[in-house]
């Protein structure tokens, strides 16, 4: 199996069986996000304590890339500090727009390296991240990628 096929398989798996699915009754932050270009919608729930993300869940509907990206994001950011998350988002953005792996270890997020070949999919891959950022800054308006 090539690396590309492995990456594809992980995206399909997370797209079909998203991790950290559902709501959080004790969420300190929540935010809705929408990518009208593709029709992806999600709502993110976060429990932040100090500068750390203690828990995160999401629900919504959308294409495999958007759901898989949200699923993998929740796995990656749980337990991280806001500074670490900022760095991850920055590096993830380079990955999906330029297709190259930044110096930092992105772990499972590397599966989205192929997205750079499909610019229209970049918004699918980054929707959850933009929504997470808006949740943490207490944006009141729903996030839209437009």
Dihedral sign (CA 143, 74, 80, 117): negative
DSSP β-bridge partners for residue 46:
29, 56
| CB-nearer residue toward Zn ion: 40 or 42 | 40
**Is residue 124 involved in binding Zn ion (CB under 5 A)?**
yes
- The reply on whether position 40 binds Zn ion by CB under 5 A is yes
Stretch that binds Zn ion, among 4-12, 18-26, 81-89, 122-130 (CB under 5 A): 122-130
Stretch that binds Zn ion, among 73-81, 83-91, 92-100, 121-129 (CB under 5 A): 121-129
Of 38 and 101, which CB lies nearer to Zn ion in the complex structure? 38
Extract the tokens encoding 132: 């997470």
Give the DSSP letter of residue 93: H
50, 56, 103, 110: which is closest to 81 by C-alpha? Answer: 50
Least distance from Zn ion to the Cβ atom of residue 19, Å: 18
Contacts of 63 (CB under 8 A, 6+ apart): 15, 38, 39, 40, 124
* Of residues 27 and 35, the one with the C-beta less far from Zn ion: 35
Which H or E run contains 114? none
Q: What mask of x and - would describe binding to Zn ion in positions 60 to 99, judged by CB under 5 A?
A: ---x--x---------------------------------
Beta strands in the chain (DSSP E): 29-35, 40-49, 52-61, 143-144
Q: Tally Cβ neighbours within 10 Å of residue 82.
A: 15
Binding of Zn ion by 38 (CB under 5 A): yes
Which residue lies nearer to Zn ion by CB, 31 or 40?
Answer: 40
- For the bound state, the minimum distance from the C-beta of residue 125 to Zn ion, rounded and expressed in Å, comes to 8
Give the footprint of Zn ion on this chain (CB under 5 A): 38, 40, 63, 66, 124
């Amino acid at each position: 199996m090539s690396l590309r096929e492995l990456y594809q398989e992980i995206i399909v798996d997370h797209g079909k069986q998203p991790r950290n699915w559902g709501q959080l009754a004790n969420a300190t932050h929540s935010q809705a996000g929408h990518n009208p270009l593709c029709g992806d919608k999600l709502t993110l729930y976060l429990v932040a304590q100090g500068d750390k993300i203690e828990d995160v869940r999401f629900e919504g509907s959308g294409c495999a890339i958007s759901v898989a990206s949200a699923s993998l994001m929740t796995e990656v950011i749980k337990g991280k500090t806001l500074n670490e998350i900022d760095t991850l988002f920055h590096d993830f953005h380079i990955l999906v727009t330029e297709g190259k792996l930044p110096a930092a270890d992105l772990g499972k997020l590397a599966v989205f390296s192929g997205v750079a070949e499909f610019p229209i999919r970049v918004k699918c891959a980054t929707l959850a991240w933009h929504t997470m950022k808006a949740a943490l800054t207490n944006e009141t308006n729903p996030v839209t990628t437009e």
